[in-house]
Amino acid sequence: MFANAVVNAMPLIGGGEMGQLVRDTDWSATPLGAYATWPQSLRSSLSLVLNTKGIAALYWGPEQWLLYNDAYGIALGDRHPHAFGKSMPEVLPDIAPVLSPQVADVLATGQGFAIENLSMIMHRGGRSEDTTWTYGFSPVQGESGGFAGVLLLATEMTEQRKAEKASQEVLQNQRNMLEQMPGFVAVLTGPEHVFEYVNDAYREVAGQRDYIGRTVREVFPDLAGQGIWEMLDRGYATGEAYKVEALPLRLAGENYDRFFDFTYQPIRNADGAITGTSLAGMTQPP
């Protein structure tokens, strides 16, 4: 396949299981030709791929011959190792409609790119799976002066996205429950108690302030020293739910105390870690 052969090519060093597969394969029986005839650009870029710890692959030539490392093989599932050394569009028909045009464009233009959290339906383990990927393509210059291959470095984000989705569902369920509660309600996130949600009743009680995305201390500087900040800090730190009755608070511009009943509930993600606070309550009649 390669016209300007390097006859005395040094054997590939390292590369884990896939490196051993390269050394054990009789490449002369494949369209890529004998390993000793491979151009230096192919051998060097493949060495880089095989010795990369993260997910990495090389798509070589217009046929997009697929050569990859151990981590990529694990990500392929049951299509590994059959896919190794084959044409990517041929062996990965599920994701090739997305990847193959991208590879062809990088080969033609020499312009690499990166993309984050791209969703693709991928067939592995005997079923189709909704997967998420962050990856980048870089062109590899060949001996003729053009671009002969494309280097892939990737991170699979599937499990992380599933965890995020589960956490969002937990939070939404908690909010739905809060919506059914009487009185005023607020949802705060993080140890700084950043407002993420307030209902209309909360605004009626506390005023039309700029809440969302700001901390309790930023929104209510007038409550300093009145105990509410410390109550929230304690609740977030301990993860305990509790009630406070008849807490006196004096808001800015008022020369009298108002008395509040509060119910504090920690908000937890799918793993049980505390991510925020729900605060509900009612004002006592004067």
Tens-place pLDDT, residues 30-82: 999 999 999 999 999 999 999 999 999 999 999 999 999 999 999 999 999 99
* Percentage above 90 pLDDT, the chain: 60
Q: Which amino acid is at 84?
A: F
pLDDT at 183: 85
Q: Which residue reads 């033609």 in tokens?
A: 108
Structural contact between residues 160 and 154, judged by C-beta atoms closer than 8 angstroms: no
Q: Which two tokens stand for residue 207?
A: 């005023």
Residues 152-179 have a mean pLDDT of: 83
More confident residue, 168 or 50: 50
- Say whether pLDDT at 86 is over 80: yes
pLDDT at 6: 47
Q: Where in the chain is the domain with CATH 3.30.450.20?
A: 16-156, 161-283
Tens-place pLDDT, residues 18-33: 999 999 999 999 999 9
Closest CA to 148 of 139, 157, 135, 159: 139
Residues 230-244 have a mean pLDDT of: 89
- Say whether pLDDT at 130 is over 80: yes
Top-tier CATH class for 16-156:
alpha beta
CATH architecture of 161-283: 2-Layer Sandwich (3.30)
